[in-house]
């Protein structure tokens, strides 16, 4: 008999309350293919809506390794990026710039980089920022962030404000 549990949709959440761990498993019905198609449709609709507005927004095409800054339906700036490598992919979806830092320190399990320039975070520790430590733009090499050359990061930092939509797709 085929299992009704799709391990790709199983999520495990631990909540710590007053020193006691509560473990909760959540399962969603459906398949990854259904979710991916739904997410692609949402992204497509968001792009169409933004292009019909006069709003500033950022589009990141992971397949082309390209970031485009838009004002409504008019592209105003486009640069080559380095997104997340296969083991640490850049998340696909629609986001908004939540915080901006002229310089920041970025740390992870296997990296600690000081003075990261012009960082704009759109989801937790995921952001668009300057990368002075490599010149591999056009190739996915990051830990999930969107790397651009520092001079391009500076332009984007000045152009975008908190709340600017960021649309990331393949």
Catalytic residue among 12, 134, 143, 145: 145
Catalytic residue among 129, 134, 152, 169: 129
Residue by residue, DSSP assigns the chain as ---S--GGGEEEEEEEETTEEEEEEEE--S-HHHHHHHHHHHHHHHHHHHHTS--EEEEEETTTTEEEEEETTEEEEEEE-B-B-TTSPPPPEEEE--EEEEEEEEEETTEEEEEEEEEEEEETTEEEEE--S---TTS--BSSSEEE-HHHHHHHHHH--TT-EEEEE-
Determine whether 134 is an active site residue.
Answer: no
Determine whether 129 is an active site residue.
Answer: yes
Catalytic (active-site) positions: 129, 145
């Amino acid at each position: 008999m085929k299992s009704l549990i799709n391990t790709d949709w199983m999520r495990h959440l631990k909540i710590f309350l007053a020193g006691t761990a509560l473990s909760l498993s959540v399962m969603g019905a459906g398949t990854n293919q259904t979710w991916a198609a739904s997410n692609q449709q949402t992204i497509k609709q968001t792009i169409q809506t933004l292009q019909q507005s006069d709003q500033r927004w950022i589009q990141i095409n992971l397949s082309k390794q390209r970031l485009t800054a838009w004002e409504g339906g008019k592209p105003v700036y486009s640069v080559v990026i380095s997104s997340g490598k296969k083991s640490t992919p850049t998340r696909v979806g629609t986001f908004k710039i939540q915080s901006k830092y002229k310089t920041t320190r970025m740390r992870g399990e296997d990296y600690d980089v000081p003075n990261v320039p012009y960082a704009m975070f759109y989801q937790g520790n995921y952001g668009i920022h300057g990368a002075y430590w490599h010149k591999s733009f056009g190739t996915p090499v990051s830990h999930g962030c969107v790397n651009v050359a520092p001079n391009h990061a500076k332009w984007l930092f000045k152009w975008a404000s908190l709340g600017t939509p960021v649309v990331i797709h393949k």
